[in-house]
Amino acid sequence: MIDQNNQALITAIMHELNQAESLELSGNYHSAFHHLERAHILGQASTYQHTRIHWRMLKIAFKLRSPSEIWGQIIRIIGASTKTPLGIYPKGNTGGANVWFFKPMPIPSDLQDILKRSGATNEPNN
């Protein structure tokens, strides 16, 4: 059973993913990617969410025809699926290929509030 706090976090992640999908369907790939970055910050402590968000980033990278982003997302999908279960991920990292994959980053205040309310510390073990 999913507790209310976890449900609030999942709802916030789904909101960002839905925003990304809507923007992607309208052809606004850069703005869609921004919402995926926000979803990444919220979901990176979950192997499932972390990996699926990178998969969505990869799909947009293909639409943007960005070889560096495509390659970066392939590497990040492998990392998310193998390192997240071990608690190895950088807090606040937005997940794009423009950022080193182990670089911790500041979390926007609105996302910090969501993480705090959900009880998620988003603290990696590295």
Q: What is the pLDDT of residues 109-118, one digit of tens each?
A: 999 999 998 8
- Domain presence at residue 15: yes
Q: Which residues contact 82 (CB under 8 A, 6 or more apart)?
A: none
pLDDT for the residue 121 = 58
Encode pLDDT of 43-61 as tens digits.
Answer: 999 999 999 999 999 999 9
125 in any annotated domain = no
In a domain, 69, yes or no: yes
- Is residue 109 domain-resident? yes
Residue 1: the pLDDT is 42
Q: Which residues contact 31 (CB under 8 A, 6 or more apart)?
A: 23
- Domain total of the chain: 1
pTM for this predicted structure:
0.91
Distances (CA, A) of 34 to 4, 39, 50, 83, 117: 27, 9, 15, 23, 22
123 found inside a domain? no
Q: Range of 13's domain? A: 4-118
Helix and strand counts by DSSP (H, E) for the chain: 5, 0
Q: Which residues of the chain are under the pLDDT cut of 50?
A: 1, 124-126
